[in-house]
Amino acid sequence: MQTINIESGMPTVEQARERLKTDLLKAKKENKILLKIIHGYGSTGKGGKLKGAIRKSLVHRRKEKIVKTIIWGEYFTTDKQDTRALLQRHPSLKSDKDLNRMNEGVTIVELA
């Protein structure tokens, strides 16, 4: 799984959205299937603007058929059906360090 660190360099929300779209399209072109997006969760007290904006952008990318599956980090747990289905399709995810950690600072994405 490829990791994309959107929060690196402390971008503005608009810069982060643009970086996300560029990185998603690049990964799709390179035939990548799984991505871990690191966006942080707002622990600095600034309200998690980046997390919310990235999540909203990912939902739009799903509507555009760039993204197939989105698993928010706090739901990347074997207790959730969507995660179990993703793990069944991609067993290598079972060794991911964020599985079952409920990490709100990441999102797992399966490209369409």
Number of domains in the chain: 1
Higher-pLDDT residue of 89 and 40 is 89
> Whole-model pTM?
0.91
pLDDT at 66: 95
CA 20-53-33 angle, to 5 degrees, is 35
Which pLDDT tens digit goes with each residue over 28-64? 999 999 999 999 886 554 547 889 999 999 999 999 9
What is the spatial distance between Cα 35 and Cα 56, in angstroms, rounded to a whole number? 16
CATH number of the domain that residue 28 is part of: 3.30.1370.110
What is the spatial distance between Cα 9 and Cα 22, in angstroms, rounded to a whole number? 16
Structural domain of 10 = 2-111
pLDDT at 53: 92
38 - beta bridge partners?
5, 106
pLDDT at 44: 55
Q: What is the dihedral of CA 112, 29, 10, 5, to 10 degrees?
A: 70
